Amino acid sequence: MEIADKLIQTHFLTKEEALELLAHAGNKEMAARLAQEAVKLRQSYYGNKVFIRGLIEFTNHCKNNCYYCGIRRGNGKVKRYRLTEDEILECCDSGYELGFRTFVLQGGEDPYYTDERMTALVKRIKETYPDCALTLSVGEKSRASYAQLRKAGADRYLLRHETADEKHYGILHPKEMSLAARKQCLYDLKELGYQVGAGFMVGSPGQTRESLAEDLVFLQELGPQMVGIGPFVPHHETRFAGEPAGSVELTLFLLSVIRILLPKALLPATTALGTMDSDGREKGLAAGANVIMPNLSPMKNRKQYDLYDNKISTGEEAAECLDSLKRRVATAGYRLVCERGDFAGEQFSGRT
Ligand code: 5AD
C-alpha cells in the first residue's frame, strides 16, 4: 500500500513508481483505496455533479488507417456517411431542447470537412448557441488550422494520444502516423487555449505495464483538462479481430489513478466502458469519472459509427434516454447537471 499512499500524498508518480503501482492493479483492496480517494477529490472540486456532453458523430469517413478502428480507411465494408451542416445543427437543436450545453463534434479525419467548412460550422453553432461549449474531436491538424478553429469559437478539443509508448504506437498505427506528431498536436492545442482531452485505450494489443506507465507519465507532463480512457474492444474487420478486449477492472483502476494525478480533470465514463459492462458508466463514476457523453447523432447513422463491435448507441447512452440516465445516475448518488461543465480552474502542469 506504500505506493498508493505516495500517490495520494503527492499527486505525482515517476515512471518507476507508476510501474510499481500498476503491478498492484489486480489488488482489490488497493483499487478500493484509490477509488475512495478519487471520489473524495472529485467531490471537493465538482461536488456530486455529473456533466453531460452531447456527442455528434458527424462523419465516419477517415483518411487514417489505425489498425484497431472499425472506421479506418482500409475497411471497405463500412457504409460511409457524412452529415450536412443543417443535419448537424438539427442534432444541436434537439440536444439543446433536451438540456445539453456542450456539443462534441466527433468524426474521422474527413478531407471533405476542410478548414473552411469546419470554421463555418463552428461559427454557426456558436452563433446559434452562444451559451454552449463546443468541443471538436476531428484528429490531427496543423497548428494554423487549430488556431483558426479556436478563433471561430471552438472551446475544447479531444485527441486521444492512444499510447505514449513509441513501440506500442507503432503496433497500433501505420508508419505514416507517429506519436511525436500526435503529442505535438496536443501541445499546440493547449498553447492555443483549448481545454484539451488526451487519453488511451486500456488493453489494446501490445500494451504492456510499461506502456501504461508511459501513459501516466505523459498525462502528468501534458496536464490535460480532460482524459478519456476506455477498454479496447475488438472490431471484426480489423487485424485485431481475435484479440481479447481490455479489462473493465483495469480501466476503473486507471480512472482512479488519473483522478488522483489530475484532481480537477474532467473524466468521462466512456461508451466503451458502457459497452463492456452494462453498469460500466456507474462503475466509472464510482472510480472517479464525472462526465457522460450521450449520443446525439441521427438514429439512422448510429450503427455506422462503428469503432468497435457491439458499440452501444440506443440504450441509456442515447440522448433521448436522458431521463432514465438521470435516474440511474441519481440512484448511484450523483446529480446529472445541464451545465457547460468547464474545467474547474487553471491548468496546473505541463509545458505552457
Ligand atoms: N476499441 C476501443 N476504443 C476504440 N477507439 C477506436 N477504436 C477502438 C476500439 N477498437 C477509440 C480511440 C479513439 C476514440 C474515438 O475511439 O481511442 O480515439
The amino acid sitting at 128 is T
308 Cβ closer than 6 Å to some ligand 1 atom: yes
From the alpha carbon of 200, which atom of ligand 1 is closest? 17
Q: Is residue 145 exposed (0-12), middle (13-18) or buried (19+ Cβ within 10 Å)?
A: middle
Q: Do 289 and 268 form a contact (C-beta atoms < 8 A)?
A: yes
Pocket test for ligand 1, best of 109, 201, 232 (most atoms within 8 A of CB): 201
Q: Given this model, what pLDDT does residue 318 score?
A: 76
CA of 201 to the centre of ligand 1 (A): 7
Other beta carbons less than 10 A from residue 236's beta carbon? 14
> What residues contact residue 258 under an 8 Å CB cut-off, 6+ apart?
216, 219, 227, 229, 265, 267, 288
Using CA atoms, how far apart are residues 295 and 312, in angstroms rounded to an integer? Answer: 9
Q: Is the CB of 257 under 6 A from ligand 1?
A: no
Q: How many beta carbons lie within 10 A of that of residue 210, not counting itself?
A: 15
pLDDT digits (tens, 9 = 90+) for 276-298: 999 999 999 999 999 999 999 99
Task: Pick the atom of ligand 1 nearest to 234's CA.
Answer: 10
Which distant-in-sequence residues (6+ apart) come within 8 Å of 244 by Cβ? 203, 234
**Residue ranges of the chain with per-residue pLDDT less than 50:** 347-352
Cα-to-centroid distance, 68 and ligand 1 (Å): 7
Task: Return the domain boundaries, the chain.
Answer: 50-337
Burial per residue of 265-298, b for 16 or more beta-carbon CB atoms within 10 angstroms, e otherwise: bbbbbbbbbbbbbeebbbbbbbbbbbbbbbbbbb
Three-class secondary structure of residue 59 per DSSP: strand
Q: Which of 173, 196, 172 is nearest to 185 (CA)?
A: 196
Which superfamily does 50-337 belong to?
A: Aldolase class I (3.20.20.70)
pLDDT for res 321: 86
Q: How far apart (Å, rounded) are the C-alpha atoms in residues 10 and 211? A: 22
The answer to whether the beta carbons of residues 137 and 105 sit under 8 Å apart is yes
Which atom of ligand 1 lies at the shortest distance from residue 231's CA?
A: 2
Please name the amino acid found at residue 185.
C
What ligand 1 atom has the least distance to the C-alpha of 68? 10
Q: Is 228 in the pocket of ligand 1 (CB under 6 A)?
A: no
Classify 337 as helix, strand or coil: strand
The three grid cell numbers given for residue 344, joined into one nine-digit string: 474547474
**Ligand 1 and 201: CB distance under 6 A:** yes
